[in-house]
Structure 1
Amino acid sequence: MILLSSSSSQMEPVFCLESRNTSCLKTVYPLPVRVCLYAVLGAAVLVTVCGNILVIVSIAYFKQLHTPTNFLLLSLAASDFLLGLLVMLPSVIRSVETCWYFGELFCKIYISTDVLLCTASILNLSFISIDRYYAICQPLMYGRKITATSVLIMILVSWSVSAAVGFGMIFLQLNILGIEDFYYNAVACEGGCVLFQSQAASTVSSVLSFYIPGVVMLGVYLKIFLVAWRQARCQQRRSSDRSQTKATKTLAVIMGTFLSFWTPFFICNVVDPFIGYSIPPLLFETLVWIGYLNSTVNPLVYAFFYGWFRKAFRAIVSGSIFTSDISEIKLFTE
């Protein structure tokens, strides 16, 4: 990228570092644009971190919320919170300054954490869909299949597999396997920090982290909604059935939001290596941020659909949880 200087009629390249032979080129945005970007992206980080903290505190503190589904939601909120704090926050600086100033090691940790948390989110959602399947389609087996132990196993699998994919791919350099010479000669430069993948790596990682779990979730929720639709046609329905159906619809909105926000990025992620890495970096950057914003939206979905979250939110904000023992407050009306 090239900076057009108002004080010079010539176009002079701007570099991230003083060593021009090895440094990445830098894009310098006008000051008003930089201020707006910092404000908007910073606000997204703040909402993401604070919103997911409220979800985490609500579920952890109130005993009535200690259910298998909510523990999976807790794991999802934890991944969203960490994404906001550990990935989105440094991404603000990288996106606005268009350079990476935190060193090569931290860059690897940053990219690995990014892959880890995005993968953990979709795996958590996959297990949530399984929980909903048993709650709606196999209610008599729900208590035996979805236990505290099985939920713990689901959470451990989500995080351990995600960590293996994220840190294994980056630190073992599997993402550039077979294209090392091209990467180091034509792509790598100081002051840059992007996830560069070969055709095989981008395809395999996207299929494992997004496409297969996404198709599974869509199939499971289709089955769930067919069953829920048949239940809705019954004149006499128990309040517990209505509550389960409402919870399923809410979680389906969360899943649909996730797929909508991340699908454009993963399509480009697979296609880009096959078209000579010709997708503009700015477009990639935009799609990544759209994906990140999914973690911002999730707590807003909870607040809109879940009465228990609004009650818990009021209790937390008012400070009631610090002045009296209200951990057993009745959050549900059904």
Structure 2
Amino acid sequence: MMNYSQPRTSQNLHFCYESSNKSCPQYIYSMAVRVPLYIFFAAAILLTVFGNLLIIIAIAHFKQLHTPTNFLVLSLAIADFLLGTITMPPSMVQTLETCWYLGNLFCKFHNSTAVTLCTASILNLSFISIDRYYAVCQPLQYQTKITNCVTLVMILICWSLSVLTGFGMVFLELNIWGIEDFYYENIDCVGGCTLFQSFASSFTSSTLSFYIPGFIMIGIYRKIFLIAKRQARSIQASGCHKANSERSKTQSKMERKSTKTLAIVMGVFLSCWSPFFLCNIIYPVFYISPVLLDILVWIGYLNSTFNPMIYAFFYSWFRKAFIIIIFCKIYQPNSSRTNLFTN
């Protein structure tokens, strides 16, 4: 494992804090590299913040969007928004300056928040998959089983477990439990802010907060699409033309489109975070370049940037709400009752 507290033997070696004997080494990128990367990261942060803010405002403002599914989407957007406002900006500076200048306490808060928000995202997606399962596979029971009250309980469970996992692991130092001496002698240094984990910690946290929910979601959505395909064939074969049948087909089509869109959101999330969580298990055993880890973390962060783009591409109601919000029409009387599902 790399020793960050190595003695200063080279004139070409830079350190985060020259006055400290236990300073982390610093790699200085050229301006030709730093400036484009700062522009790229700043653009990603702005897209993340404002894109998810639009989702939050839209679902909170328009009464037509006050549904159990959208409340779970709102919770997911809040996690993405907080990631863009709290976690991504200091991560950008640390990645490009290769040093942490905000102190040890804020470092712990930063790492805790990152773990909390990532866990909240996947738990929100897990509850969304349950919501979609009842909406598509058991539509007659959906109204009674997935109520606003049940959704609120889901959201409270999601955030409680996420905060407990993120802040509990970091502030109680469960991530270095059993390897404290090795960490403080070889890894800990002034100017660093890496969430170092023992193999037991990384394996347990990755399995509980990513792999198990991920496999459960994949299993649920696989079952949803098999049943939805069967339902579509059944409706097509029936050949009914009654008004009730037409309404039923329209509702079923809307539910399937919503499920497909949210499945894409889940797929993008798993695609963005899987490389990092794979390396997170390997990292305590095999050396992985800090630059590679930074790249994988940012690929994961960019998932929060992609989500509003997915909604804008697949949901016409989001595009309509976007226009209303941008042009400040939400301040008009009764704007909250605007019908977003008409052309």
Shorter-chain TM-score bucket reads over 0.9
* Separation (CA, whole Å) in 1 of partners of 2:342 and 2:302: 31
Deviation digits for residues 269-308 of structure 1, max 9, x if unmatched?
A: 0111122xx1100000000000000000000000000010
Where does residue 65 of structure 1 map in the other structure? 65
Which range is displaced more, 324-333 or 182-191?
324-333
Where does residue 266 of structure 1 map in the other structure? 277
Where does residue 111 of structure 1 map in the other structure? 111
Where does residue 322 of structure 1 map in the other structure? 331
Gaps of 5+ in 1: 2-9
Note if 1:88 corresponds to 2:88.
yes
* Separation (CA, whole Å) in 2 of partners of 1:17 and 1:192: 10
Where does residue 240 of structure 1 map in the other structure? 251
Q: CA deviation at 1:11?
A: 5.3
* Separation (CA, whole Å) in 1 of partners of 2:143 and 2:177: 46
How is 1:157-176 mapped onto 2 (pairs within 5 angstroms)? Answer: 157-176=157-176
Q: CA deviation at 1:319?
A: 1.2
Residue of 306, 313, 320 corresponding to 2:315? 306
Residue of 287, 293, 304 corresponding to 1:295? 304
The number of residue pairs the alignment matches comes to: 324
**Matching residue's letter, 1:91:** S
Q: CA deviation at 1:318?
A: 1.0
- Alpha carbons 2:101, 2:191 under 8 Å: kept: yes
Secondary structure of residue in 1 paired with 2:337: coil
- Alpha carbons 2:69, 2:128 under 8 Å: kept: yes
Deviation digits for residues 86-114 of structure 1, max 9, x if unmatched?
A: 00011111111000000000000000000
* Separation (CA, whole Å) in 1 of partners of 2:186 and 2:153: 43
Deviation digits for residues 230-264 of structure 1, max 9, x if unmatched?
A: 12223156100000000000000000000000000
Secondary structure of residue in 2 paired with 1:273: coil
Deviation digits for residues 162-183 of structure 1, max 9, x if unmatched?
A: 0000000000000000000110
Q: CA deviation at 1:21?
A: 1.4
Where does residue 134 of structure 1 map in the other structure? 134
Secondary structure of residue in 1 paired with 2:284: helix
Which TM-score applies when normalising by structure 2?
A: 0.93
Which TM-score applies when normalising by structure 1?
A: 0.95
Where does residue 36 of structure 1 map in the other structure? 36
Deviation digits for residues 159-204 of structure 1, max 9, x if unmatched?
A: 0000000000000000000000110000000000010000000000
**Matching residue's letter, 1:331:** L
Aligned-residue CA RMSD (Å)? 1.3
Gaps of 5+ in 2: 3-9, 240-247
Q: CA deviation at 1:37?
A: 1.0
- Alpha carbons 2:76, 2:125 under 8 Å: kept: yes
**Matching residue's letter, 2:336:** S
- Alpha carbons 2:16, 2:23 under 8 Å: kept: yes
- Alpha carbons 2:20, 2:190 under 8 Å: kept: no
Secondary structure of residue in 1 paired with 2:285: helix
**Matching residue's letter, 1:267:** L
Where does residue 332 of structure 1 map in the other structure? 341
Runs of 4 or more, structure 1, over 4 Å off, are none
Secondary structure of residue in 2 paired with 1:327: helix
* Separation (CA, whole Å) in 1 of partners of 2:131 and 2:122: 14
Where does residue 190 of structure 2 map in the other structure? 190
**Matching residue's letter, 2:163:** A
Q: CA deviation at 1:325?
A: 2.5
Note if 1:214 corresponds to 2:214.
yes
Which range is displaced more, 20-29 or 172-181?
20-29
Which range is displaced more, 122-131 or 231-240?
231-240
Where does residue 5 of structure 1 map in the other structure? none
Where does residue 280 of structure 1 map in the other structure? 289
Secondary structure of residue in 2 paired with 1:12: coil
**Matching residue's letter, 1:247:** S
**Matching residue's letter, 1:197:** Q
- Alpha carbons 2:48, 2:304 under 8 Å: kept: yes
* Separation (CA, whole Å) in 1 of partners of 2:204 and 2:38: 34
* Separation (CA, whole Å) in 1 of partners of 2:291 and 2:122: 25
Where does residue 46 of structure 1 map in the other structure? 46
